[in-house]
Amino acid sequence: MKPTPKPPADQTPAEHPNTPEHGEGKVTPAGLGADLQLPEGLPPAHAKPHETQRQTWDRLRREAKAAGMVRLESLSYANREVERLYPPTPPPEPAPPEPAPIAPIVATPREIGVSGLGDIPANWPSLPPNASLQAEIAWVQASRLDVVQESPQGTVVDLSRAVTPAPSRAAIGWLETSIRAYSKYCDIAARATASQEHEAEQVRRERLAIDDIRALLREMLPPSG
């Protein structure tokens, strides 16, 4: 090793990094351990343009050996400087997944709704809230084919086409049930019809009983004359 030249008297030690205050003539670059000291004749490590990482490693190793480093020191120097000059590139962030295509929503007639149920004709009388179930179901049965119109855009109700006004507002509700849930409406209609037949039969029997009583009374009366 050549002796370190002393700095001129007009310069401070900070202007000469190779002075004893900065490592006794030996420099430790960033990325190297303190146990690996570089000789003075070794040029600063750098990567040349159009030089591959392998070519840089080979050149640094040769330069270190030429400057007086032993084989293991030159290998360690080349490895560490290449790591500093060619830092690992972080892997690219994965691209966000593409959103799944949204299929267009096509509304069915039931989803579109039933229009016209609230349009009470002006010539109808004021409707009470309720009437007998038999009367309400009978009106729906008689008017449904006239007032309900089906189309691809939905179901339209035109109450003005009914032959008679609805007996109540509940009857219009039963009309809506017959459109939206026909099977449920059929069950209600069957019960109402059965109840109506039962009441009719009961009235007929009562009339027969009254007729029998009247005939018995006529037999008990004495003949006029």
Q: Which tens digit of pLDDT belongs to each residue from 131-185?
A: 888 888 889 888 888 998 887 777 889 899 999 999 998 888 888 888 888 888 8
- Going from the C-alpha of 81 to that of each of 27, 65, 86, 109, the distances in angstroms are 14, 14, 8, 75
169: tokens are 């507002």
User: In the prediction, which pLDDT does 133 show?
Assistant: 84
Q: What are phi and psi of 161, to 5 degrees?
A: -85, -5
User: In the prediction, which pLDDT does 34 show?
Assistant: 47
* Confidence band of 194 (pLDDT split at 50, 70, 90): low
Please tell me the distance from the alpha carbon of residue 171 to that of residue 81, in angstroms, as a whole number: 92
pLDDT tens digits, residue range 57-86?
999 999 888 888 888 888 988 899 989 888
User: In the prediction, which pLDDT does 1 show?
Assistant: 45
User: In the prediction, which pLDDT does 124 show?
Assistant: 92
* Confidence band of 30 (pLDDT split at 50, 70, 90): very low
